[in-house]
Structure 1
Amino acid sequence: MQKYMRSRCAIIGLFFLLFLSVSAVTRSVLLFKSINMIDLSFLELLKIYGVGAFYDFISVGYLASLFVLYLLFLPQKFLNHKIHRYITYIFVYIFLFGIVFLAFSEWFFWDEFNVRFNFIAVDYLIYTKEVIGNINESYPMGILITVISFISALLFYAVYKLQYIENFLKSQSLFKERFKSSLIYLLIPALSFASVTGDLSKISSNQYDNELSKSGLYSLFEAFRNNTLDYDMFYVTQNSEKVLSTLKNSIDSNPSVFTDTEDITRNIIKSGEEKDYNIMMIVVESLSGKFIESLGGEKNLTPNLDSLIKESLFFNNFYATGTRTVRGMEAITLSVPPTPGRSIVKRPDNHNMYSSGFIFKNKGYETKFIYGGHGYFDNMNEFFSNNGFGIVDRVDFSDEEDTFHTVWGVCDEDLLNKSLKEADLSYKAHKPFMSFIMTTSNHRPYDYPNGRIDIPSHTGREGAVKYTDYAIGEFIKKAKEKPWFKNTIFVIVADHCSTSAGKIELPLDKYHIPLIVYAPEIIKPMVVDKVSSQIDIMPTLFGMLNWSYKSKFYGNDILSPSFQERALIGTYQKLGLYKSNKLTVLSAGKKIKSYEVLEQDVFSTKYKDIQTDTESKNNIVSYYQGASSLHKKGLDRYDD
């Protein structure tokens, strides 16, 4: 023991001891705070502290791994140097401050949500400006930081007086001697990453017991890894049978179309000949409704799109489901509501979803996700390649095809020119095609080729919007010269708006986007003012193609006389339903709130707080609880 105390690894053992001790104290404090809500049997307490200590052990293993490597390779002469003494003092104090700060943070998080860190905490790390402002307004940060610093100083003094640091600084060891100990410590994070999940914390039917058996730090890591926020734990819930019944009625009022009592599977039956029109869908980065003059937006930014709208099927009351590109992709491709946490696109269990890609493929189409950047970003390639699409991204562009690019990808002209070439290949192979094309030019740094428009490159969002509009105009001109043009439906839609913040939660104007369907040889121009959203795109296109198919979609054909108007919108935490001029919002903490929409355009929305009526509550819960439940059960998968 004395030999170990004088070894380098003794300081790592000290870190484990301190972290486990502070975590045990934290667990005890949280337990006593919720004493009336937990099961107090001896066996339950043993599980809480035993499983909790296991997760704490893994957590500190992750934290210590870099320092283990540092000590392994640090030359002996530098370890014993006086400069390293001060470096060690500083590092030990920072470590102590960190674990005490973590303990205080867990207390405040538990006080608000009664759970360990989860995706809400991850969300806090994303929206730092808002979160820091909220913390400063909610808590006396000066006093708290002073208290944390003082407690950390007391712990440091105790460690110093017990000679842990001095013994470490005086240690002598050869590389091969410390390699064995270092290897053991490094195996902890390596093995746990490969084999440990959060499932071990499910020790009881009592949710408080399960949460106490977790480690806050490990739970935060798990939330980053899995990108989910459990609906049932945080949001208003109802009886599952009632939820499914209401959901089915919201999707289709005819009960006879549903073929399964456990989910929303139904048969869409069309009479007459099915069509094999090509589909070229251009999903435009951040194309807010406020940029479209036809929606009452700014003038002269989108002259080509505004001209195209006059010849198109134009949906002027259309909404994005979320505020991120992956949310738009998820809604369009899968026709699902925006579930809490991260988009399905970024989750690990997103293969073989009930995707429109599989339906197109089964109808004989070549399906391609075409992106001017590197599709590994945001897990896009992984998602599309496992849900019925081939991949064409930055690596598939030759030097000649890449005439201009930013860090996000090739310019929109290059992207759309590449899309024309891919369409030509499908046409030559005598196959109809579906292209999901994702643009990037309307994204900071707003760079694009010079000489295309009257706004210089790199001067702001307006120039990027106008350049994208120019690129789409040129694309349509070139497409008209193609032999496949007359048999092609062009869909132009935004992934989300350019901004999402507003004075109130879920401002409708920050979700209002254009949907343009252009096919002069196929579709008559018309303005459709039904309230609808991205989940309705694919069912509407399938209606235009007159397809019969099995559906697990939450969206519907907007052009159908029986279409029930509504829009589903959300953020990582807020879940909204806009219907009958009312917006109902679900929030974490099982909160529900409703607003009457007094005025709305593409620039602003005015609301009035109202009581949530039973129908609104039933409708919104059915969509979001239903989608969460079916996803958990794997009932939203493609099984043909």
Structure 2
Amino acid sequence: MKDIRLQEIATLAYRIFLAFFFYQIVRFLFWFFNKDLIKIDSVSDYFSLAYHGTAFDSTGILYVNALFILLSLVPIVINTKKYYQKFLFWVYFVMNGIAYGMNFGDFVYYKFSQARLTTAALHVAKHENNLGKVFITSVFEHPFVIFWFLVLMFFWAYLYKKVKINEMKPKNKWIYFSSSIVTLCITAILVVGGIRGDFKHSTRPINLVDANKFVKNPTQANVVLNSTFSFFRTIDTNNFEEVHFVDEQFIHENIHPYKIYLRENVEPKPNIVIFILESFAKEYSGAFNKNTKIKDFVSYTPFFDSLATKSLIATNAFANGRQSIHGMSSVLAGIPSLTDAFTGSPYANQKIQSIVSVTNELGYDTSFFHGAPNGSMGFLGFGNILGFQHYYGKTEYNNDADFDGMWGIWDEPFFQFFAKTLDRKKSPFMATMFSVSSHHPFKVPEKYKGKFKKGPLEIHEPVGYTDYSLKKFFETAEKMPWYSNTIFVFVADHTNQIAYPEYEKAMNRFAVPIMFFSPNPKYNLHGEITEPAQQMDIYPTLADLIGYNKPIRSWGRSLVSADKNYMVVNSDSIQNQFIIGNYIYRFDGKEVTGVFDIADKNLEKNILGKIKSPEIEKGILLCKAWYQDYMNRVINRKLD
């Protein structure tokens, strides 16, 4: 019996079981540190989520331990020797330690991304040269993450060593080798089944979308998932594929991928200045929360609020993505980020019609400003694709005395550089400023310590600083000759930390401010837009205001036109989300999986199949039609 290696098989099973045990512990800790964002009603609900998470744990654990399992069972006679077992120990804990650590990173990362770690993070990280600083800062700010990681890894190693393999030499090598081959074959089948999620040939391997099968609201899917699974499942994935749900005539009549806005005699052409404000969520601004009825609401943006009284504001607007680069593609080119980000796909490098190409065509000078090291966040590369004529970053600023030590030049001095650079340009110009300072690690310049409201969130103080930087920019710009004929746009790239329960709701995690301001009264940029709007609406609105008068490829709409047909689109990285009319739809790329009343911003009561109406049936068809058109245009390079 010894020659069929029962001792080694049992010990291997014990060691793999330990991984499952510790993944359940880290699942609980992940939820505990994010329980304000992920609501679970009862203990039984939590255990249900944890139980269903075992399938996703299996995939992650077996991915990571495939080599360890092979080395544990391969028939090489020396398997039970102490030095070989020590070698296995290090293989096991190096591989598992790295993978396990991903889950601890999500304790903090999730608060900013509202999504589990995926390879999309690599598309951002590859453009950064300050990751070491970011990591060290995060460690000092969140020591509990390292503490729990080390405690659990030591405890894991302790339990691992409690079960040892006694050294033995096979007596009957024919039995030893033949039984080993049988064991390896059976194990391989089990491992493949575990990685796939089941053994049915007819079903696809489980992916992030499948976590939604077991939840009461979509945010709970992040408890079912684990970071190891979500990272490995998105390696080398390209979920861009053509689909066919409807005919092209239906798309032409209902999706309107091309729009034209006719406006007479817009001369001279206005300058355009777009501020994409880092993490500047709707939650932080009083002007955009007048109707939310949040008790004891506090605003951290006094200048922004004052400017809003003289502007056209969209108070029910949403981001079309989750990361900064998604904000850039959504605002400037009207291209959202779905479960897979367009900007990280093989299709990003193509000719794209955008507000950049439109203004280039009209003879504008076009520039992009970002105070970080040139190329950070992928902005330089994507800016070149869009066709910006000039890029101004930390290099062009050329004064490291104003560097914040982490991300880039502080907003106040870089905004002044922005104004002065624009003053040297010939009108008309289109310039985009992507701010830096309202970002982790949430610092303000030393000279402004204590000047801005701190509030309950770390981000409140730097948001106040960015707001102050905007004020100083306008004090400078309004004295310049180009100012009087300029249209200013303000929008956040995405949301960030959350203080109020209203913004913990699944859809409101995408809630951003959108504001248009011009000192020139002829553009009539005043009032409030209360119906749903999105970042993708900015490009067609600007094309309308400057009198482009030609067809534009756009999934958004001009907010200053009579066009009231909207389809707000975004994704929580697991499924795509649409706001159409009176309902919110969740769509996995194949089928609509949920329909929710538009008032149900937390997506708690799925009425799919429970309430039937022509509007819902049409909405389901519109989701599919929009998705079909998106995939067709991205894959077949029809974005120009």
Structure 2 residue 460 is the aligned partner of structure 1 residue 462: yes
Q: Distance in 1 between matches of 2:235 and 2:435?
A: 27
Q: Would the aligned equivalents of 1:275 and 1:545 in 2 still touch at CA under 8 Å? A: no
Q: Distance in 2 between matches of 1:532 and 1:156?
A: 68
Q: How does 1:114-153 map to 2 (within 5 A)?
A: 122=118
C-alpha deviation, 1:505, in angstroms: 10
Q: Secondary structure at the match of 1:307?
A: helix
Q: Distance in 2 between matches of 1:313 and 1:329?
A: 21
Q: Secondary structure at the match of 1:538?
A: helix
Q: Secondary structure at the match of 1:391?
A: strand
Q: Distance in 2 between matches of 1:158 and 1:479?
A: 83
Q: Would the aligned equivalents of 1:323 and 1:496 in 2 still touch at CA under 8 Å? A: yes
Residues 439-483 of structure 1 deviation map (CA, whole Å, 9 limit, x = unaligned): 121111111124446338898211111111111111111110111
User: What amino acid sits opposite 1:446 in the alignment?
Assistant: F
Q: How does 1:103-502 map to 2 (within 5 A)?
A: 122=118, 223-224=234-235, 228-230=238-240, 239-242=244-247, 244-252=248-256, 264-265=257-258, 268-273=261-266, 275-296=268-289, 298-341=297-340, 343-351=341-349, 352-389=351-388, 390-399=390-399, 402-427=401-426, 431-452=427-448, 454-455=451-452, 460-499=458-497
Q: Distance in 1 between matches of 2:428 and 2:404?
A: 30
C-alpha deviation, 1:540, in angstroms: 0.4
Alignment TM-score, normalising by the size of structure 1: 0.61
Q: Would the aligned equivalents of 2:368 and 2:392 in 1 still touch at CA under 8 Å? A: yes
C-alpha deviation, 1:598, in angstroms: 3.1
Report what 1:518 is aligned to.
517
Q: Secondary structure at the match of 2:287?
A: helix
Structure 2 residue 563 is the aligned partner of structure 1 residue 562: yes
Which piece of structure 1 moves more, 366-375 or 605-614? 605-614
User: What amino acid sits opposite 1:635 in the alignment?
Assistant: K
Which piece of structure 1 moves more, 292-301 or 493-502? 493-502
Q: Distance in 1 between matches of 2:160 and 2:502?
A: 36
After superposition, the Cα gap between the structure-2 partners of 1:158 and 1:100, relative to the gap in structure 1 and judged at 3 Å, is farther
RMSD: 4.5
Q: How does 1:564-579 map to 2 (within 5 A)?
A: 564-579=565-580
User: What amino acid sits opposite 1:454 in the alignment?
Assistant: K
Q: Would the aligned equivalents of 1:371 and 1:437 in 2 still touch at CA under 8 Å? A: yes
After superposition, the Cα gap between the structure-2 partners of 1:424 and 1:504, relative to the gap in structure 1 and judged at 3 Å, is closer
Report what 1:14 is aligned to.
none
After superposition, the Cα gap between the structure-2 partners of 1:89 and 1:493, relative to the gap in structure 1 and judged at 3 Å, is same
Report what 2:606 is aligned to.
609
Aligned residues: 452
C-alpha deviation, 1:330, in angstroms: 1.3
Q: Secondary structure at the match of 2:599?
A: strand
Q: Distance in 2 between matches of 1:155 and 1:269?
A: 83
C-alpha deviation, 1:155, in angstroms: 14
After superposition, the Cα gap between the structure-2 partners of 1:317 and 1:266, relative to the gap in structure 1 and judged at 3 Å, is closer
C-alpha deviation, 1:592, in angstroms: 1.4
Q: Would the aligned equivalents of 2:322 and 2:337 in 1 still touch at CA under 8 Å? A: no
Q: Secondary structure at the match of 1:386?
A: helix
User: What amino acid sits opposite 1:455 in the alignment?
Assistant: F
Unmatched segments (≥5 aa) in structure 1: 1-58, 65-84, 103-118, 127-144, 163-206, 253-263
After superposition, the Cα gap between the structure-2 partners of 1:500 and 1:336, relative to the gap in structure 1 and judged at 3 Å, is farther
After superposition, the Cα gap between the structure-2 partners of 1:247 and 1:350, relative to the gap in structure 1 and judged at 3 Å, is same
Q: How does 1:14-163 map to 2 (within 5 A)?
A: 89-95=85-91, 122=118
Alignment TM-score, normalising by the size of structure 2: 0.61
Unmatched segments (≥5 aa) in structure 2: 1-62, 69-80, 99-114, 123-155, 174-200, 207-227, 291-296, 610-615
Residues 485-538 of structure 1 deviation map (CA, whole Å, 9 limit, x = unaligned): 011111111111114899999722222211111112243322222311111101
After superposition, the Cα gap between the structure-2 partners of 1:588 and 1:93, relative to the gap in structure 1 and judged at 3 Å, is farther
User: What amino acid sits opposite 2:535 in the alignment?
Assistant: Q
C-alpha deviation, 1:93, in angstroms: 4.9
Q: Distance in 2 between matches of 1:88 and 1:482?
A: 75
Report percent identity of matched pairs: 19
User: What amino acid sits opposite 1:363 in the alignment?
Assistant: L
User: What amino acid sits opposite 2:567 in the alignment?
Assistant: R
Report what 2:635 is aligned to.
632
C-alpha deviation, 1:624, in angstroms: 2.1
Residues 178-217 of structure 1 deviation map (CA, whole Å, 9 limit, x = unaligned): xxxxxxxxxxxxxxxxxxxxxxxxxxxxx979989xxxx9
Report what 1:583 is aligned to.
584
After superposition, the Cα gap between the structure-2 partners of 1:266 and 1:100, relative to the gap in structure 1 and judged at 3 Å, is same
After superposition, the Cα gap between the structure-2 partners of 1:463 and 1:609, relative to the gap in structure 1 and judged at 3 Å, is same
C-alpha deviation, 1:579, in angstroms: 2.1
Q: Would the aligned equivalents of 1:250 and 1:564 in 2 still touch at CA under 8 Å? A: no
Q: Distance in 2 between matches of 1:432 and 1:156?
A: 81
Q: Secondary structure at the match of 1:626?
A: helix
Q: Distance in 1 between matches of 2:548 and 2:169?
A: 74
C-alpha deviation, 1:424, in angstroms: 1.6
Q: Would the aligned equivalents of 2:412 and 2:469 in 1 still touch at CA under 8 Å? A: yes
C-alpha deviation, 1:295, in angstroms: 2.1
User: What amino acid sits opposite 2:562 in the alignment?
Assistant: P
Q: Distance in 2 between matches of 1:157 and 1:627?
A: 62
Report what 1:546 is aligned to.
547
Q: Would the aligned equivalents of 1:93 and 1:156 in 2 still touch at CA under 8 Å? A: no
C-alpha deviation, 1:308, in angstroms: 0.3
Q: Distance in 2 between matches of 1:393 and 1:409?
A: 9
Residues 259-316 of structure 1 deviation map (CA, whole Å, 9 limit, x = unaligned): xxxxx45655544445521111111111121111122273341110110011111111
After superposition, the Cα gap between the structure-2 partners of 1:500 and 1:552, relative to the gap in structure 1 and judged at 3 Å, is farther
Q: How does 1:589-600 map to 2 (within 5 A)?
A: 590=591, 592-598=593-599
Q: Would the aligned equivalents of 2:286 and 2:298 in 1 still touch at CA under 8 Å? A: yes
Report what 2:136 is aligned to.
none
Whichever of the two has the greater Rg, that structure is 1
